[in-house]
Amino acid sequence: MPRILLFTAKLGYQTRSFDEAARKLAVDLVFVTDRCHQLDDPWGDRAVPAHFESPDAAAYAVLEGVRGHAVDGILALGDRPAVAAAYVARGLGILHNHPAAVEACRSKLRMREVFREAGLRVPSFRAVSLNPTPEPSLLGIQYPCVAKPLSLSASQGVIRANSREEFVSAAARIRLLLESAEIRATREPNLDQILVEGYIPGREVAVEGLLTDGKLRVLAIFDKPDPLDGPYFEETIYVTPSRLAASQQREIEHCAVDAVRALGLSHGPVHAELRVNEDGVWPLEVAPRPIGGLCARALRFAPDAVASPIGLEELLLRHALGLPGSDWPREQSASGVMMIPVPKSGILEKIEGAAAARTVPGITALEITARLHDYIAAWPEGSSYLGFLFATGTTAEGVEEAIRIAHARLHFELTPRLPVEHPATGRLPAVGN
């Protein structure tokens, strides 16, 4: 039985889908997670514990854990596990991305530097220390600009500022977020700095791709029909195929290829975010991993119109093992997903309209991932959605319409929580939390 190591956070949405695909392919899927190493396999899943904040140490622990066992492939879900996965792949001699390339993707600052050195379109940018609170006029910051943490994902902590007052407020808000116990517990580097860059106007798209020996195959271009103009950048709807002109789609593909090449990525899944305006295509971020959350369910692949399609998870397992089927194209129908936005921070008390939303023609699934009575943070402090809406149809326009109708039928009741000092830090929750 072929064996694959799947590096993932202990609370990943996608792990169940990968497990199901692995069972179908008769693949031994071994999870590598950031659970506590003191616990002796509490869930009975044989997962290997690793501390992803120290990739080299995590790699050593994993290599020791699999010593004497054959490993045929490696995949990583999420940004934090990806670096450790690259080190392990290198140690085992498995085809994968070089650790230095993956590390460059973990820093928004380093990524901007790489893109600039490669001659790609980049806005003006600079790293700014939060201690003390920066004075923008002394730094030459121009508006509008975007301030963001150097390493967080899902647009957490990303804020647009149109004036000095907004910038100072944004910097203070990001500083509170980065000093929160939840973020400090991740042990992310450079939590005392932010990246400040010029705002790039235009439409935003996402590219899902798959690298094989340095060659990028674009699996899908997702339109993001909701404008992402700020002040916060919570994503909502993804729809494919793209409705942009064919010439623009070719330019997007070329930009994705150039960005991947500049970073030195060579093998495995890639998720890229780009902006398109009258000046051309601007690469925002590239991650050496598949699309996050449950969004992968919006992608299915088949060799022809009569064959049963497979999901992205199975496609990636096949690719990692060199099995037939990893070159199948995306099915011909249009599809889309909504990451259900969080209207405001609060305790989730009630969910209404789910049954009505599921009856909308074209809707294929509604998954509520937020739990009742849990606290849900809105953006920019938040990074988790209320759930996911999926739809398919003959056209991208029809898919988007079905998603919007279904979402309009949903109602989430959130109530404020009382501000309580954290027992470890003595701090109140960050603004918006």
pLDDT-derived band of residue 133, with 50, 70 and 90 as boundaries? confident
pLDDT digits (tens, 9 = 90+) for 372-393: 999 999 999 999 999 999 999 9
* Same domain (yes/no): 145, 97: no
**Has residue 425 been placed in a domain?**
no
Q: Which of 36, 70, 104 is the last residue of a domain?
A: 104
Average pLDDT on 145-156 reads 94
Contacts of 83 (CB under 8 A, 6+ apart): 52, 55, 99, 102, 103, 106
pLDDT at 244 over 80: yes
- Give me the sign of the Cα torsion angle 88, 73, 110, 127: negative
Domain membership of residue 191 as a residue range: 124-198
Of all residues in the chain, the percent with pLDDT exceeding 90 is 82
Question: 376 pairs with which residues across the strands?
Answer: 346
Six token digits for residue 216:
């990028």
Helix (H) or strand (E) holding 3, with range, is strand 3-7
For 267, counting Cβ atoms within 10 Å of its Cβ (0-12 exposed, 13-18 middle, 19+ buried), the class is buried
pLDDT at residue number 258: 98
pLDDT at residue number 156: 96
Total structural domains within the chain = 3
Q: Judge whether 423 lies within some domain.
A: no
The 3-state DSSP class for residue 227 equals: coil
Structure tokens, 307 = 């064959």
Evaluate whether residue 324 is within a structural domain: yes
71 plus 35 within the same structural domain: yes
Same domain as 135, residue 85: no
Look up the CATH number of the domain holding residue 173: 3.30.1490.20
Whether residues 46 and 87 fall in one domain: yes
Provide the pLDDT for residue 417: 87
* Separation in Å, CA 107 to CA 65, 104, 150, 419: 29, 6, 6, 32
Tell me if 303 is assigned to some domain: yes
Tell me: pLDDT of 356 over 70.
yes
One domain for residues 13 and 55: yes
- Kindly give the pairing relationship between strand 3-7 and strand 73-76: parallel
Nearest to 333 by CA among 302, 360, 357, 367: 302
Confidence class of residue 132 from pLDDT cuts 50, 70 and 90? Answer: confident
Mean pLDDT of 302-306: 90
Residue 418 confidence (pLDDT): 77
Q: Which of 72, 104, 136 marks a domain boundary?
A: 104
Q: For 305-339, what is each residue's pLDDT tens digit?
A: 888 999 999 999 999 999 999 999 999 999 999 99
Distance between start and end Cα atoms, the chain: 47
Are residues 220 and 138 part of one domain? no
pTM tops 0.75: yes
CA dist 244 and 242 (Å) reads: 6
Per-residue DSSP letter, 50: -
Q: What is the rounded CA–CA span in Å between residue 358 and residue 406? A: 7
Q: What is the CATH number of the domain that holds 45?
A: 3.40.50.20
pLDDT exceeds 70 at position 5: yes
Judged against a pLDDT cut of 70, whether residue 422 lies above it is answered with: no
Contacts of 289 (CB under 8 A, 6+ apart): 76, 77, 78, 79, 82, 269, 270, 271
Residue 330 DSSP class? B
> Residue type for 2, please?
P
315 CB neighbour count, 10 Å cutoff: 26
- pLDDT of amino acid 43: 41
**Percent of the chain with pLDDT strictly greater than 70:** 93
Q: Tell whether the model's pLDDT for residue 207 goes beyond 50.
A: yes
For the residues of 365-411, what is the DSSP string, one character each? EEEE-SPTT-EEPPTTT----SEEEEEEESSHHHHHHHHHHHHHT-E
Share the mean pLDDT of the chain: 92
Q: Considering the domain boundaries, does residue 227 fall inside one?
A: yes
Residue 232 token pair: 């916060």
What's the pLDDT score for residue 134?
82
Whether residues 244 and 386 fall in one domain: yes
42 pLDDT above the threshold of 60:
no
Here the CATH number for the domain that contains residue 389 is 3.30.470.20
**Given a cut of 70, is residue 271 above it in pLDDT?**
yes
Residues contacting residue 16 through CB under 8 Å, at least 6 positions apart: none
**345: alpha, beta or left? (left if phi > 0; alpha if psi -120 to 50):** beta
Q: Would residue 287 count as lying in a domain?
A: yes
pLDDT of residue 186: 83
Q: Are residues 12 and 143 in the same domain?
A: no
Structure tokens at 371: 């739990």
Q: How confident is the model over 120-138, as a mean pLDDT?
A: 91
Instruction: Kindly state whether residue 402 falls inside one of the protein's structural domains.
Output: yes
Q: What is the pLDDT of residues 402-416, one digit of tens each?
A: 999 999 999 999 999
Q: Are residues 259 and 381 in the same domain?
A: yes
Does residue 269 have a cis bond before it (omega within 30 degrees)? no
Among 104, 136, 170, which residue terminates a domain? 104
328 & 179 share domain? no
Side-chain half-sphere exposure of 329, counting CA atoms within 13 A: 8
Residues in the chain: 433
pLDDT at 140 over 90: no
pLDDT band at 187 (very low <50, low <70, confident <90, very high): confident
In contact, 75 and 30? CB cutoff 8 Å: no
Q: Are residues 38 and 187 in the same domain?
A: no
- The Cα 211–Cα 320 span in angstroms is 11
Residues 242 and 386 in one domain: yes
Which pLDDT value is given to residue 161? 97
Alpha helices in 4-144 (DSSP H): 15-25, 55-65, 79-92, 99-106, 108-117, 136-139
Beta 28-33 vs 3-7: how paired, if at all? parallel
Kindly state whether residue 66 falls inside one of the protein's structural domains. Answer: yes
Distance of CA 143 to the CA centre of its chain: 27
6: helix, coil or strand?
A: strand
